[in-house]
Structure 1
């Protein structure tokens, strides 16, 4: 338990520093955007290449992949059913809400928590691949069909392949390929990758702290409050519970393995959902507010999980 507390303390300190930098404007008005792009396009792909190239493939194609994918799909479908029958929402808003309830922030918070709390970044790799290879293309295809007029729709091939150009996915695939063929890259290649990868976590935490400044939620007349509450409850309560049931009784996990699966499921909504909502101009406030609410809730929720299962 002391290791978990120590890990959270490290995360809180760096996030708080990012928040203070944002409040004071020390890094300029575009700091969050620039740092986020550095993390997304350079540091995280390097981290994945290095981590996967030096790990066993059984870590990626493991029960973690099954637990993460099944729990996400189950919770997303449950949200969609409730949003349709209870809230009477249109399909584009249902898709955005379903993603808000089940699409995990695996980079900005997932990697730091995996490293400092779970002590193993490889727990995140299966989740990253599932979300980018399967979940994103399916959601984007649904939005392309339902949210855009005919003249603005892209081809099915473009809709499906666009997420595959994601640099994080490319980094994961490259790392998997290196591990699969059993090649050990020279030190002159691995050391720069290691250095850039080590920068991913602190930069991601600083970026997260920067984004917390000047944000308000549940704004009267603009915010779909019932949708946000439903998505947040599904994300922070239902998804960890489903992951626990699958890991504990479906795969017989105990100890640290069980703890890791539940923590991964309790990660907050990813910012990717807001990117998709903005692209299709549907459910933008829902995506934004759900991400912030679940991010704030994830701290006590993961702390409770750690106190119970760690």
Structure 2
């Protein structure tokens, strides 16, 4: 636990710092949307590309890890569909609740993994993201749509996602062993190093404590499922599939992360319940400061 706290507290300090900077208007209000756009389209894809280009794709545990990722998502999706049938959630509300359970804060996850395992952990996490990012985005968009079936048109914006494209490009470079231009490794390292601190500051700036009012019972059970039940499910899968320690920890961590701040933007764009989504993002992020060390200690 002390080692985990030493690894985690600087990351949450950046989140708190981002919230205070925005609340005190230390930077211009239009800085934050620009910073998020820079990170989403350039810095973060550079991190994923660089990590995947050097990832060991011959990892013997990779097929089992992939199976655990997809199986965990499908079980959570089945539970959400059952809840929708029982409680009759409209698409706007179901979409927010589904994202609260399925999506994850990638910036925080990679920052924690980098602190715990270094480059080898980041490479493994990038491999997981190549599966998780398209699957979670597809399910999130599907949940927010009013149509009961899956429409092929939902796939087009997902395929243009810069994170997915970066993962595909990095894997292609890795598999083909194509040499990168001289000095590009250093350039990618510099871009990647800027991504996670800026991302965590933006996470803090996006927190909206005022959105917690009025939905506390719903927020509470969704947070319990996301921060405690999902990592427990991941832990069970790691035991069933006999995953090694590092792979198990990375899987459990991603299933224990709070939901992604970008879920709010997607919810608003597709007509979802923005108030509920903002509350889920805020409360899950705040509670994760306590739940992440607890989960990683108990289920390590």
TM-score > 0.5 by shorter chain: yes
Counterpart for residue 251 of structure 1: 241
Counterpart for residue 216 of structure 1: 210
Work out whether residues 93 and 283 of structure 1, in 8 Å CA contact, stay in contact via their aligned partners in 2.
Answer: yes
Partner Cα distance (1:181, 1:301) in 2: 41
Give the ranges of 4+ consecutive aligned residues of structure 1 lying more than 6 Å apart after TM superposition.
none
**Counterpart check, 1:185 vs 2:185:** no
| Superposition deviation, residue 277 in structure 1 | 1.5
Counterpart for residue 291 of structure 2: 301
| Superposition deviation, residue 12 in structure 1 | 2.8
How big is each residue's C-alpha offset from its partner over 1:160-189, in whole Å with a ceiling of 9 and x where there is no partner?
Answer: 111111111111111000001012313322
How big is each residue's C-alpha offset from its partner over 1:66-110, in whole Å with a ceiling of 9 and x where there is no partner?
Answer: 22222222123213312431x33124422331221122222x212
Work out whether residues 80 and 97 of structure 1, in 8 Å CA contact, stay in contact via their aligned partners in 2.
Answer: no
TM-score normalised by L of structure 2: 0.88
| Superposition deviation, residue 137 in structure 1 | 2.6
Partner Cα distance (2:267, 2:147) in 1: 13
For residues 13 and 227 of structure 1, do their structure 2 counterparts lie closer, same or farther at Cα, with a shift above 3 Å needed?
closer
| Superposition deviation, residue 58 in structure 1 | 3.6
Partner SS state of residue 56, structure 1: coil
| Superposition deviation, residue 118 in structure 1 | 4.0
**Counterpart check, 1:116 vs 2:115:** yes
- Alpha-carbon RMSD across the aligned residues, in angstroms, is 2.4
| Superposition deviation, residue 242 in structure 1 | 0.6
For residues 189 and 99 of structure 1, do their structure 2 counterparts lie closer, same or farther at Cα, with a shift above 3 Å needed?
same
Q: Mapping of 1:219-298 within 5 angstroms?
A: 219-220=213-214, 223=215, 225-248=216-239, 250-253=240-243, 255-298=245-288
- Matched pairs, number: 296
Counterpart for residue 173 of structure 1: 168
Q: Mapping of 1:138-149 within 5 angstroms?
A: 138-141=139-142, 143-146=144-147
Partner Cα distance (1:215, 1:174) in 2: 38
Work out whether residues 212 and 283 of structure 2, in 8 Å CA contact, stay in contact via their aligned partners in 1.
Answer: no
For residues 271 and 66 of structure 1, do their structure 2 counterparts lie closer, same or farther at Cα, with a shift above 3 Å needed?
farther
For residues 280 and 243 of structure 1, do their structure 2 counterparts lie closer, same or farther at Cα, with a shift above 3 Å needed?
same
Partner Cα distance (2:223, 2:193) in 1: 31
Counterpart for residue 152 of structure 1: none
Partner Cα distance (2:94, 2:51) in 1: 36
